[in-house]
Chain A
Amino acid sequence: MGIDIEKIRSLFPVLHQEVHGKPLVYFDNAATTQKPQTVLDALTNYYQKDNSNIHRGAHALADRATRYFEGTREVVQHFINARETAEVIFTKGTTEGINLVASTFGRKFIEKGDEIIISTLEHHSNIVPWQMLCEEKGAILKVIPINDAGEIIFGEFEKLLSAKTQLVSIVHASNALGTINPVKQVIDAAHGVGAKVLLDGAQSSSHLPIDVQELDCDFFAFSAHKLYGPTGLGVLYGKREVFESIPPYQGGGEMIKEVTFEKTTYNDIPFKFEAGTPNIGDVIAFKAAIDFINEIGKEAIKAHEDELLAYANEQLTRINGFIPVGTAKQKVSVVSFNIKGMHPYDVGMMLDANGIAVRTGHHCTQPLMKRFGLEGTVRASFSVYNTKSEIDKLAESVSRIARIKNK
């Protein structure tokens, strides 16, 4: 059964506005999604009724806030099918999740001469932490090449794997191109040489069903704000035995069992990794975002977004001067493109003049852009609340813009 698009749109106040005198068409969902009213209400409710520090307060408000906070952890556990809530850590976002693994797992297990594998598709946040770690430890960063469609070359990945490989950190779905990586095969192959695997789920978590047990990944990092939730919040999943084997990330309150000036013992997971007062209000509101997704269902969301992607490809590829970038067979709802003879910044600005919000530039993937010999692209990314008539507006504007240089 299809989704009730009008009902869904009515839940997002921000969508109902004009930009430069035109109705807003929001196609920058890969950067951040908009928030349904239920998330906004949950945030307000928390601060109006329950605001309190969690876990140790001896009063009713603290008890409520703690229950709601831990309630979100449970909802997240089910959302990604983790075995238990202890495997779910709250972070600032995907970037912090990756940095946490680099700092803790990296500190403990990466040694001189060890190898870490990433792919050409990575966001800077899944490149730079590993470069920093490799520099510090004398380890080596290896990069899986891609083909012209923007897909990793699996045979080349297999060649990179060896007994020296300690970690494979790879994006589940590319933010710049939309490519969905064959992560199950990547994980199995990496485990075959004894390496651990981190998945960057920043993009995949909003589009694809996530089952960390079936995937068997060791870490999975994602951000709440790309999932209709608040900014400044993310999740890092880790297998219990892996989380228990690595040292804490930051020191402070909450993460301790007992502190003396001579020695501190650490709390159990997940608290071992959550030093300091966490982002309580946003965690609590994040539950409303996941509830929103669960009510529609990931399959229904994926079906709707796949339909939008296919329709956009059909409409846009007809346009003289339209150059698609990234044509992988498996993609989330991202269309990256250029217009012949035009700079992506200019295209973005002209689309904005038509009320259409897209992202332009290198999308924090400069090595990937270099692989394609490009300075950047225009990226339109679709979400559950987008419609075919919005894509018609995009195609119409792109067509008009393309005619300037492609008569």
Chain B
Amino acid sequence: MSRIQEVQDEIVSEFEILGDDKESTIYYIMELGGSLEDFPDSERIEENTIKGCQSKVWLIAEEKDGKVHFQADSNTDITKGLISLLLRVLNYRSPEEIINARLDFVERIGMGSIIGSQRSNGFASMIKQIKLYALAIQTKQNA
């Protein structure tokens, strides 16, 4: 499995190909949403939503062979795309890797200007929740 930094570099080069065309960039993000694993209907409940997102985002995490397995969904396609980017970098990694990950791709692709300030706040909430899950699993592992 590629290292976190390699996956981030890959994402950055994909966005570089799209250039400054905002419409194609958004289409691309929406398409990425299609790559998310199917989310179990039974988990689509209030307790699994991320606070601080304007659109609905559900996120769950479980430990699998010492790594963290995330599943996520949203009611908007762009948000699904955004979370799929995060999971591409952070899914199936050890809690420690996730907690210490420095997500520089966000700034390098200019995420702020692509999605605007409202959605950027939501995006930050997603990152925070992913790290919190990793921390909880790490705590359990060390117990």
Hey, which bits of chain A sit against chain B, CB under 8 A?
20-21, 342-343, 345-346, 349-350, 352-354, 361, 375, 404
Contact = CB atoms under 8 A, between A and B. Distances in A.
A269 to B, nearest CB: 42
Nearest to B31: A404
A107 B21 CA distance: 56
B75 A343 contact: yes
B55 A349 contact: no
Contact of A21 (B20, B54, B55, B76): B20
Given A350-B23, A353-B22, A354-B23, A345 B54 contact: yes
B114 to A, nearest CB: 9
A346 B22 contact: no
B78 A349 contact: yes
13 contacts: A20-B22, A20-B23, A21-B22, A342-B77, A345-B54, A345-B76, A346-B30, A349-B119, A352-B116, A353-B25, A353-B26, A375-B75, A404-B30
Given A343-B55, A349-B119, A350-B26, 19 more contacts: A20-B22, A20-B23, A21-B20, A342-B77, A343-B77, A345-B76, A349-B78, A349-B115, A349-B116, A350-B23, A350-B27, A353-B22, A353-B23, A353-B26, A354-B23, A361-B54, A375-B75, A404-B27, A404-B30
A21 B113 CA distance: 13
Interface residues of B, number: 18
A211 to B, nearest CB: 40
Contacts of B23: 20, 350, 353-354
Closest 7 pairs (CB-CB, A-B): A343-B76, A353-B22, A353-B23, A20-B22, A346-B78, A346-B76, A345-B76
Interface string B40-65: 00000000000000110000000000
Contacts of A352: 22, 116
B20 A345 contact: no
Which residue among A21, A342, A353 has the maximum number of chain B CB atoms within 10 Å of its CB? Answer: A353
A98 to B, nearest CB: 26
A165 B76 CA distance: 43
Contacts of A349: 26, 78, 115-116, 119
Contacts of A354: 23
A246 B44 CA distance: 51
Interface string B91-118: 0000000000000000000000001100
Contacts of B76: 343, 345-346
A120 B34 CA distance: 37
Nearest to B33: A346
